[in-house]
A and B are shown apart, each in its own frame.
Chain A
Amino acid sequence: MSKLTPVNKLPGVFLVVGFLILASLLWFTPTHANEPAQQTEEYCLSCHSNPDLATTLPSGETLSLYISPEQLKDSVHSPNGIECEACHTNITTYPHPSIEYQNVRELSRSYYAACQKCHPDNYSKTLDSMHAQVAEAGNLDAPICTDCHGSHYVHPPDQSRTLIPSTCGNCHTEEFSVYQSSVHGNALEQDSNPDVPVCTTCHGVHNIQDPRTQQFRVDEPDLCASCHANQEMMSKYGLSADVYSLYSLSWHGVDVSVYDARWPTIQHNSAICTDCHGIHDILKPDDPNSSVNPNNLLVTCQKCHPGVGPNWTGAWTGHYEVSLERTPFLYYVDWFYSIFTPMILWICGIYVALQLIRLIVDRARRSLR
Chain B
Amino acid sequence: MSQPKPTPSSSPNRVSLLRTFPRFSVSQRWEHVILLACIAILLLTGLPQKYSSSVWSQTIISTPERLATIQLIHHISALVLTGLVLYHLGKACYLIARRKLPGDMLLTLQDIKDAWNMLLYLIYIKKQKPAFGKYNFEQKVTYWFLFFSIGIMIISGYVLWFPETITRILPGGIIPAAIMAHSTEAIATTIFIVIWHFYHVHIERLNLSIFSGWLNDEDMRTHHSLEYNQLVRKSRTNKDSGDIKS
Contacts and interface: CB of A to CB of B under 8 A. Distances in A.
B201 to A, nearest CB: 12
Contact of B53 (A261, A316, A332): A261
A213 B122 CA distance: 64
B172 A337 contact: no
A351 B118 CA distance: 10
A344 B176 contact: no
Contacts of B187: 341
B173 A315 contact: yes
A254 B52 CA distance: 8
Interface string B181-193: 1001101100110
A299 to B, nearest CB: 15
A308 B195 CA distance: 42
A362 B164 contact: no
A263 B63 contact: yes
Contacts of A174: none
A337 B181 contact: yes
A121 B52 CA distance: 40
Interface in B155-169: 163-164, 167-168
B180 A330 contact: yes
Interface residues of chain A: helix, strand, loop or mixed (majority): helix
A366 interface: yes
Interface in A236-273: 251, 254, 257-259, 261-263, 266, 268
Contacts of A334: 180
Interface residues of B, number: 39
A333 B53 contact: no
Interface stretch (A26-34, A157-165, A353-361): A353-361
A17 B167 CA distance: 100
B101 interface: no
B216 interface: no
B2 interface: yes
A101 interface: no
A352 interface: yes
A355 B199 contact: yes
Contacts of B188: 337, 340-341, 344-345
B191 A329 contact: no
Given A348-B192, A349-B195, A362-B1, A329 B176 contact: yes
Given A263-B63, A334-B180, A352 B199 contact: yes
A352 B197 CA distance: 10
Contacts of B174: 315, 329
B196 interface: yes
Contacts of A341: 184, 187-188, 191
B146 to A, nearest CB: 12
Contacts of A315: 163, 167, 172-176
Interface of B: 1-2, 52-53, 58, 62-64, 119, 121-124, 163-164, 167-168, 170-177, 179-181, 184-185, 187-188, 191-192, 195-196, 199, 203-204
16 contacts: A258-B52, A268-B64, A309-B167, A312-B164, A315-B173, A332-B177, A337-B181, A337-B185, A337-B188, A340-B188, A341-B191, A344-B191, A348-B196, A354-B122, A358-B122, A359-B204
Q: Which 10 A-B pairs have the closest CB atoms?
A: A314-B172, A315-B175, A329-B177, A315-B172, A348-B195, A329-B173, A354-B122, A311-B167, A337-B184, A333-B177
